[in-house]
Chains A and B, each alone.
Chain A
Amino acid sequence: MGMAGEQRQFTVLMRILHWLMAAMVLTMLGIGVAMVASLGDYHRLVSIHRPLGIAILIVVVIRFVNRQFSTLPPFPASMSSRERFVAHASEVLLYTLLFVLPLVGWGMLSAARFPIALYGPLHLPPILPHSVMLYAFLRRTHTVLAYLLFLAFIAHFGAILFHTLVVRDGLFSRMAPWRVDAR
């Protein structure tokens, strides 16, 4: 590592959490869209979907807290303030979705009084009153937010590809899973 102020990468913990989250969210999006169209695999998929959603909720809270105590690497100088604004806004959107989507899932199953089994006899308590109308509303919300998350992921991934392959400003090295030394 160089001197303070020359930090080029997110901390090791932040990068681990980011890539763990990436793997979980991609798995989750695939499972989510597949299970609602599936008969034979529905139960297997939904049995992964629920505990994985709660795992994402836990990891996003850890990331949120950890981020507050971490120093962030600077954006490349090539990024305009407009681009920085968009980058910040997309981060806020992603964090919000990753926090709200599992909560809506938990809430909708609570409103339907559907048990949320995690592992063995371990299960979550309901967080909302029993109301099927509320369930129906949250169930639609869950779908809308999930598609929004997919779009946000596409935009996030597209932006990093653009910066890495077209602008070539080294933006990706900030979050690269490997160590990138300051040049």
Chain B
Amino acid sequence: MGRPQVDMTMWDPVALRWPWSDPLPSDSTASVEKQPAPLSGGRALVRLGGIGVVLLLIALGFFYLGGWFSPNSLTPARFVNAFERADGVFSGFRRNHAKGVGVSGYFESNGQGARLSKAVVFQSGRMPVIGRFSFGGGDPHVADAPTMVRGLGLQFLLPDGEQWRTAMVNLPVFPFQTPQDFYDNLVASQPDPKTGKPDPEKMAAFAASHPATVRAIALIQSHAPSSGFDNSAFNSLNAFRFIDAAGTSIPVRWSLAPVEPVVAMSTAGGGQTDKNYMFDALIASILQHPLQWRLIITIGKPEDPTNDATVAWPDGREQVDVGTLTLDHIESEETSLARDINFDPLVLPSGMAPSDDPLLSARSAIYSQSFTRRAGEAKTPSAISAAEVGK
């Protein structure tokens, strides 16, 4: 195979060197006669083809890892698409738990948790917290209702620079065992374009094939929600693991127990004309005096499931009060740092680790996808505006 002749004046090798490289050695140091004889054209073509096949296989392997050949498998993007189909896309807002308000305060650890986990958050002391109260669902302008899922996302800034983030809800258990169950429910409960309501047949079919969800919803419905955010309990739902200084790992769940007296939600129903009335009540309450919750760690026994958030652990499990959360400041998402925080439940300090619950990794992946989408969008005003908080 003859080599193409190159016009040496076009490609001055000296000008193309790396700035730090030695002068290019002259060709005389490499002896041409030691090369094997050139391949015949046919053999060269075969080898070229072989190289092409190898490169193609590498590229296919890469795309296989990226899920390009499994269009039906659940990915973070497909999951968030399902949220968007269910509730619509609201520029700059979370794809779930869209309506919310920012809060801040501090956590005062009493040191009781230090024997359970070596995490710095459990050593005695006070650390700043940023949080966000929210309602479940993707509509940032939905009317407040006590039956909707309430969320509380928290970010603890630990003295050594680590962070702990947790996203909790007021339900006692989570209705779905796996990400696929959650996704299938989102699809089944999507409003029918004709009626504007979910198709009852699809909902019934989902319930029939998901007994764990039916049991969880029965348990959820047996717990009457409290009247407001300020006297609501919030639960980690998923199990986690605590690791102590000796390396011993134990299964745990945690919850925030309100210091405010719990008042059951009004059963009178209706009569609420202000669509932000629960957030307004939270704002009034926090402006009156700081709100407090006790952080309670529940320690699981070896037989308690850690991979099933639909099941409550039996009563009587050891519970440790590890400190008090105080929220003394509230502001609209328009100014609060909380808007731009992804309350990823797997941002854990050393000493805390995920359990084998399949929801945890999925939550982390999906929150990240939702965060990435909304981060790049124009931000539109929150329903709980700065004026609403200030009034």
Which A residues contact B (CB, under 8 angstroms)? 5-6, 29-30, 33-44, 46, 67-68, 71-72, 74-78, 80-82, 84-85, 88-89, 91-92, 112-115, 117, 120-121, 123, 125, 130, 132-133, 135-137, 139-140, 150, 154, 157-158, 161-162, 165-166, 168-170, 183
Contacts and interface: CB of A to CB of B under 8 A. Distances in A.
A82 B54 contact: no
29 contacts: A35-B365, A37-B75, A38-B67, A39-B76, A41-B361, A42-B362, A42-B365, A43-B346, A74-B25, A74-B29, A77-B31, A81-B6, A84-B13, A84-B24, A85-B11, A88-B17, A112-B342, A117-B162, A121-B350, A123-B161, A130-B340, A132-B371, A133-B375, A133-B376, A137-B376, A157-B58, A161-B51, A166-B44, A170-B34
A139 B375 contact: yes
A167 to B, nearest CB: 8
A141 to B, nearest CB: 12
B13 A170 contact: no
B62 A29 contact: yes
Contact of B35 (A75, A137, A169): A169
A133 B378 CA distance: 9
Interface in B344-376: 344, 346-347, 349-350, 354, 358, 360-362, 364-366, 368, 371-372, 374-376
A125 B347 CA distance: 15
Contacts of B12: 81
Interface in B110-166: 120, 160-163
B16 interface: yes
Interface in B153-195: 160-163, 179
B375 A115 contact: no
A85 B375 contact: no
A125 B160 CA distance: 11
Given A74-B25, A85-B16, A123-B161, A80 B4 contact: yes
B361 A150 contact: no
B66 interface: yes
Contact of B29 (A5, A40, A91, A135): A5
- Nearest first, the 4 closest Cβ-Cβ pairs linking A and B are A136-B376, A37-B67, A42-B365, A74-B25
Given A40-B361, A78-B35, A170-B34, 7 more contacts: A5-B25, A39-B79, A67-B20, A80-B6, A135-B375, A157-B55, A166-B44
A121 B29 contact: no
Nearest to B34: A183
A149 B10 CA distance: 28
Interface centre among A43, A88, A150 (most CB of B within 10 A): A43
B22 interface: yes
A121 B75 contact: no
A34 to B, nearest CB: 4
A75 to B, nearest CB: 7
A95 to B, nearest CB: 9
Contacts of A71: 22
Contacts of A170: 34-35
Contacts of A115: 162-163, 347
B360 A82 contact: no
B305 to A, nearest CB: 17
A136 to B, nearest CB: 3
A38 B75 contact: yes
Contact of B162 (A85, A123, A165): A123
Contacts of A166: 39, 44, 47-48, 51
B24 to A, nearest CB: 7
B391 interface: no
Contact of A136 (B6, B16, B25, B372): B372
Contacts of A91: 18
B32 A81 contact: no
Contacts of A77: 27-28, 30-32
B341 interface: yes
A22 B35 CA distance: 27
Given A42-B361, A136-B372, A166-B39, A161 B13 contact: no
